[in-house]
Chain A
Amino acid sequence: MIDGADTTLARKALLPAGLNDLLPQDAEHEAKVVGRLMKEFHKNGYERVKPPLIEFEEALLSGSGAALAHQTFRLMDPVSQRMMGLRADMTLQVARIAATRLHKAARPLRLSYAGQVLRVKGTQLRPERQFGQVGVELIGSLRPEADAELVLLAANALAAVGAAGVSVDLTLPTLVPIVCQALGVVGEDGKDLRAALDRRDAAAVKDLAGPHAPLMLRIMEAAGPAPAAVERLAAIDLPPEAEPERRRLTAVVKLLTDAAPALALTIDPVEQRGFEFQTGLSFTVFAKGVRGELGRGGRYRTGGDPGQGEPAVGFTLYTDTVLRAIPGPEAPRRILLPHGTPRDAAAALQADGWQTVAALEPVAEPLVEARRLGCGHVFQDGRAVAV
């Protein structure tokens, strides 16, 4: 904390809302976790791409990107005199790369990315306006195997960084709109009903759905641990237009339960929030006792609008929430090297995993100096001595 009396320093320390500094250990920890997640993606054939921080507004916010327009910081490019947007999400940038510069690359195309995004407003659960996204996109396949691969990849990557109690919630953000359309519940009524279902507000659903209330409530209640909830959903008499959605969900659940019986998998057929550009099966990753979502993903089209571009599926993990779900940073093994310690001794210690801290001048009490600098050990007589 900065001394309250020193107002100049305090003024300098104050950051805009939703932005913060990461300090030693935490910054290192975050970078390591991102690296570990990316390694897991890499092992599964996903190749890293790096889009720029800022793009022309009309490219960044066209098609599906329009959903993020209100969350995007904009600035004028003094060179081209065109408006630019600072990315609020990386998915669509990667989709753009796949559709343009990599349109000749073999499909299915597997890409991964890690980077920071900036949003105009934080949310209730995530007041941060800048946070990290780490994710993958699998472009050019409609197979349910692709959906299943991504759910498993997300779960495995989180397990690799030590997240406990992870559960994946499969959702069908397009199911409720399709059912509403088929039943003729459209316009404002349809919008209100979809919002009520999204909040699981049973009383409002009853009011708004009129004669369709029993059906809507049954769909809403077909939520919970996967195999049982899928059976409940299968027993519901849905309009035929909704059949492909249900079939895909059933297929993906089957693939997942066969491949990973221990995976905590729930379904929620009425959840639609935050899936503005998704065009089909989607999922959200939660962890027990952790506020907010660890990540989310789903189906979309690289062209933006339905029927345009290629089918794709992807997910992104939010580093800030992931960090809350995993053990904190381990204290580094820091060792103080007294003044004049030979360089090869330092190199040997570093090769052994030590973090070496060289004393820049001789000190009378190396043990005291080590403690002062946060070192647990001092290098004395050719070995590490605990302080």
Chain B
Amino acid sequence: MVRRHKGTVHTDRHGGLRVRAAGRPAHRVPINAAHATPQQNRRMTPPANEPLVLALPKGRIADELRPVLDHVGIVPEPAFDDPKSRALQFATNRPDVRIIRVRSFDVATFVAFGAAQLGVAGNDVLMEFDYPELYAPLDLGIGKCRIAVAEPADMVETDDPSRWSHVRVATKYPEITRRHFAARGVQAECIKLNGAMELAPGLGLCRRIVDLVSTGSTLKANGLVEIEHIADITSRLIVNRAAFKTRHDEIQGWIDRFREATLAGQT
């Protein structure tokens, strides 16, 4: 978000604007934020509201989300669909709406702190972080998968989960994992990985993993079997709490449009 600062402004070597206010640390503001709006669309839209930032995740949900955006009436600039583009934020057909593209875990963080007002995140992210400043008013019904415990196929026959007192698990979701096992009286020691969990059992890092499973083919390819289901996952529209309170009509309007788009997508 571009904020006005008293003080000097100059371009730094990373291509951002460095704004130095007296006595405060420098903030870097991305340079394309100021003039990214396509001029040709400006005429067609009603007078601009306050800027609205929509945070969208990179990766697997992005494709499923595209028709939803179309239905809602948000058309991102062409760079959004260009896989070679390295831009992180995108103008849209609406001068007041900007899209940022970040990792799915970061969507929740941006929205929780009010840096973005709306976002799309799986309930895996919401369960892991449990951010009190997030509302999740709408299940978009896309990005369907599940979060599950898996272990090597050859271990399944001899393993008796009811005898466990301690498990070591490789996962991107240490909170969910700890909670899941604690609920049945098992202490989980989590090894936090950021990807490629499926490698861990084969290389002896640990024997079990907790990860997202959609088709199960990645597990299978790595000789793993799903042994416990933790939760079903879908993508949710998430909303910053303060924005929901202070810009209610506008935010509720977007929720309603996303709801219509979701219903249209399901029929």
From B123, B131, B246, give the contact of A167 (CB < 8 A): B246
Q: Specify which chain A residues have a CB less than 8 angstroms from the CB of B131 in the assembled complex.
A: 124
Q: Does A165 contact B (CB under 8 A)?
A: yes
A200 CA / B123 CA spacing, docked (Å): 13
Question: Is the Cβ of B245 less than 8 Å from the Cβ of A284?
Answer: yes
Q: Does B112 contact A (CB under 8 A)?
A: yes
User: Contacts A124-B131, A291-B242 known; A202 to B248 CB distance under 8 Å?
Assistant: no
A290 CA / B132 CA spacing, docked (Å): 16
Question: Is the Cβ of A286 less than 8 Å from the Cβ of B245?
Answer: yes
Question: Is the Cβ of B113 less than 8 Å from the Cβ of A203?
Answer: no
Question: Is the Cβ of A124 less than 8 Å from the Cβ of B248?
Answer: no
Separation in Å of the B30 CB from the closest CB of chain A?
19
**8 Å CB interface, A139-191 against B:** 165, 167, 169
Interface readout for B90-129 with A: 1 if CB under 8 Å, 0 if not?
Answer: 0000000000000000000000111000000001001000
Q: Specify which chain A residues have a CB less than 8 angstroms from the CB of B132 in the assembled complex.
A: 123-124, 199, 273
Which residue of the partner chain A has the closest CB to B244? Answer: A200
Q: Specify which chain A residues have a CB less than 8 angstroms from the CB of B138 in the assembled complex.
A: 202-203
Q: Specify which chain B residues have a CB less than 8 angstroms from the CB of A199 in the assembled complex.
A: 132, 134-136
From B236, B249, B252, give the contact of A203 (CB < 8 A): B236
A167 CA / B244 CA spacing, docked (Å): 11
3 smallest CB-CB distances across A and B, nearest first, come from: A203-B139, A200-B135, A201-B136
- 14 contacting pairs across A/B (C-beta < 8 A): A124-B131, A125-B112, A167-B246, A199-B132, A201-B126, A202-B138, A264-B246, A266-B245, A284-B245, A286-B242, A287-B246, A289-B114, A291-B114, A292-B242
Question: Is the Cβ of B247 less than 8 Å from the Cβ of A202?
Answer: no
Q: Specify which chain B residues have a CB less than 8 angstroms from the CB of A204 in the assembled complex.
A: 136
User: Contacts A125-B113, A286-B242 known; A203 to B248 CB distance under 8 Å?
Assistant: no
User: Contacts A124-B132, A291-B113 known; A224 to B248 CB distance under 8 Å?
Assistant: yes
Separation in Å of the B130 CB from the closest CB of chain A?
9
Question: Is the Cβ of B135 less than 8 Å from the Cβ of A125?
Answer: no
Separation in Å of the A9 CB from the closest CB of chain B?
19
Separation in Å of the A231 CB from the closest CB of chain B?
15
How many A residues touch B, CB cutoff 8 Å? 29
From A125, A167, A202, A203, give the contact of B245 (CB < 8 A): A167
Interface readout for A277-305 with B: 1 if CB under 8 Å, 0 if not?
Answer: 00000001011111111000000000000
Q: Does B202 contact A (CB under 8 A)?
A: no
Question: Is the Cβ of B246 less than 8 Å from the Cβ of A224?
Answer: no
Q: Specify which chain A residues have a CB less than 8 angstroms from the CB of B113 in the assembled complex.
A: 124-125, 291
Which residue of the partner chain A has the closest CB to B234? Answer: A203
Interface readout for A223-240 with B: 1 if CB under 8 Å, 0 if not?
Answer: 111000000000000000
Separation in Å of the A36 CB from the closest CB of chain B?
23
Q: Specify which chain A residues have a CB less than 8 angstroms from the CB of B73 in the assembled complex.
A: none
A268 CA / B137 CA spacing, docked (Å): 14
Q: Specify which chain B residues have a CB less than 8 angstroms from the CB of A287 in the assembled complex.
A: 246
B-to-A contact residues, CB < 8 Å = 23, 50, 112-114, 123, 126, 131-139, 234, 236, 239, 242, 244-249, 252
Given A203-B123, A290-B242, 15 more contacts at CB 8 Å? A124-B113, A167-B246, A199-B136, A200-B135, A200-B137, A200-B239, A200-B244, A201-B236, A203-B236, A224-B252, A268-B245, A284-B245, A287-B246, A291-B242, A293-B242
Question: Is the Cβ of B133 less than 8 Å from the Cβ of A203?
Answer: no
User: Contacts A124-B112, A125-B133 known; A266 to B242 CB distance under 8 Å?
Assistant: no
A264 CA / B248 CA spacing, docked (Å): 11
User: Contacts A167-B245, A224-B248 known; A200 to B112 CB distance under 8 Å?
Assistant: no
A264 CA / B242 CA spacing, docked (Å): 14
Q: Name the residue in B136, B138, B246 with the highest tally of chain A Cβ atoms < 10 Å from its Cβ.
A: B246
A167 CA / B250 CA spacing, docked (Å): 15
Separation in Å of the A170 CB from the closest CB of chain B?
11
Q: Specify which chain B residues have a CB less than 8 angstroms from the CB of A165 in the assembled complex.
A: 246
Interface readout for A256-278 with B: 1 if CB under 8 Å, 0 if not?
Answer: 00000000101010000100000
A169 CA / B123 CA spacing, docked (Å): 27
A223 CA / B133 CA spacing, docked (Å): 17
Q: Specify which chain A residues have a CB less than 8 angstroms from the CB of B23 in the assembled complex.
A: 23
Q: Specify which chain B residues have a CB less than 8 angstroms from the CB of A289 in the assembled complex.
A: 50, 114, 246
**8 Å CB interface, A94-137 against B:** 123-125
Question: Is the Cβ of B247 less than 8 Å from the Cβ of A288?
Answer: yes
Q: Specify which chain A residues have a CB less than 8 angstroms from the CB of B244 in the assembled complex.
A: 200
A203 CA / B239 CA spacing, docked (Å): 14
Separation in Å of the B113 CB from the closest CB of chain A?
6
A223 CA / B246 CA spacing, docked (Å): 12
User: Contacts A124-B112, A124-B131 known; A200 to B248 CB distance under 8 Å?
Assistant: no
Question: Is the Cβ of B246 less than 8 Å from the Cβ of A202?
Answer: no
Q: Specify which chain B residues have a CB less than 8 angstroms from the CB of A169 in the assembled complex.
A: 245
Q: Name the residue in B123, B134, B136, B138 with the highest tally of chain A Cβ atoms < 10 Å from its Cβ.
A: B136
Question: Is the Cβ of B136 less than 8 Å from the Cβ of A286?
Answer: no
